[in-house]
Structure 1
């Protein structure tokens, strides 16, 4: 069984407070000049899990509130768009459970219907979580996320060239990672601290608060439903059912 199928999660209380002067932490030099590999494709095992969850969803009764999902009072999509169903993953680069979940989400995104829009929203639980949330929005503003998203997880959890929650990565450390993709590190660091990124972070925090996010990864459908479930595969089944439910509602309008 895939490790990603367990329902481990990273919670608010697990995020350590920042300690010391992070700017004094040198970036890992070993891979500083090594060109990054291309982003990984969808692996067969994750694709199989997604396909199996879709079959189960098609043959299952409707999802049950309080068991399969929680309704978000006065819930609104993170970024409303007419004629589309929004799926949000609230995540954290430093979260080991998010790292394990990412192959499933990549496989799900590759198969999602055309009228579904998938959005990442970084959690801000303090310490390194907040710094990497800034990095996400800086990379998004530069069009880097498709190339860097999976590889930043790898750098933190597999290669360990970045520390994540094991220590403190400075803005310069993080910018050095993105420099591998042709970005000027000073420009990236400046973008991380810009007013535009501050605004994106406020919006993300408001959404997470409204959605009662206590841990990651968490899936939200159309701002209305927070996916529960017993395993990660079960969450994909519930996600499929809620998306189909919202698609039907769109078709009825």
Structure 2
């Protein structure tokens, strides 16, 4: 998909764009197993992570579908987004700081599409602080609180955590979805930038539910 996925994502997209995701996703085609499985953030819940970048046009294309899908999730699924952070990519940091700030304000989900629209549709350079803070004000967000977090001492720690997550899950391109710390899938693997990837995710979640250990019986 994005630069690091050109050799796989875009080639796959071109070859199978006209095909539909099969009812039973195929390992190695529609999804892959993680070489090193990762623990979920909330034990006892299934998990889906979306790795993305505000500057990625493919992430922007899938975002409306992701938002619609997220609204249908049952309570046993924890869906969270992680802004990708690759080493040596200073162009990512400005967007990652916006994500961290909104996340710490509890506004990341509410304003996700708005940030994408500003960057991708309106071509606003939100990595320039004067542009960013003016945009934040127009969104009705508390500018003083936003600035405090955005420029705070804890920001470097938060950015490092994004980099660590990107490395731990071996994310080489975005958008990428990780299911329950075990599987990865993407629009590039599926071959379509629509709801198809979420059909794969739903199938993987259903499979995980079947293999999940039964809850211990309550004592009388």
TM over 0.5: yes
CA contact (8 A) 2:38 2:169 kept: no
Corresponding residue number in structure 2 for 1:136: 99
Corresponding residue number in structure 2 for 1:49: none
CA contact (8 A) 2:58 2:175 kept: yes
Q: Distance in 2 between matches of 1:201 and 1:246?
A: 31
Structure 1's 177 and 128: CA in aligned 2 closer, same or farther, altered over 3 A?
farther
Structure 1's 179 and 236: CA in aligned 2 closer, same or farther, altered over 3 A?
same
Structure 1's 71 and 13: CA in aligned 2 closer, same or farther, altered over 3 A?
closer
Post-superposition Cα deviations, 1:186-229, rounded to whole Å, max 9, x if no partner, equal 54234123333322222222221122211111111112111132
- 2:191 matched to 1:230? yes
Q: CA RMSD in A?
A: 2.5
Unaligned runs of 5+ in 1: 1-8, 15-52
Corresponding residue number in structure 2 for 1:73: 35
With the length of structure 1 as denominator, give the TM-score of the two structures: 0.69
- Partner of 1:239: helix, strand, or coil? helix
- After TM superposition, list the pairs within 5 Å mapping 1:56-205 onto structure 2: 60-61=23-24, 63-77=25-39, 80-125=41-86, 126-160=89-123, 162-163=124-125, 169-205=127-163
CA contact (8 A) 1:92 1:123 kept: yes
Corresponding residue number in structure 1 for 2:175: 217
Corresponding residue number in structure 1 for 2:218: none
Shift of 1:152: 1.1
The alignment covers a number of residue pairs equal to: 196
Structure 1's 205 and 84: CA in aligned 2 closer, same or farther, altered over 3 A?
same
Q: Distance in 2 between matches of 1:184 and 1:172?
A: 15
Q: Distance in 1 between matches of 2:179 and 2:158?
A: 20
Structure 1's 179 and 219: CA in aligned 2 closer, same or farther, altered over 3 A?
same
- Partner of 1:195: helix, strand, or coil? coil
Post-superposition Cα deviations, 1:107-127, rounded to whole Å, max 9, x if no partner, equal 110111221111010012423
With the length of structure 2 as denominator, give the TM-score of the two structures: 0.78
> Which is further off, 176-185 or 112-121?
176-185
Shift of 1:184: 4.5
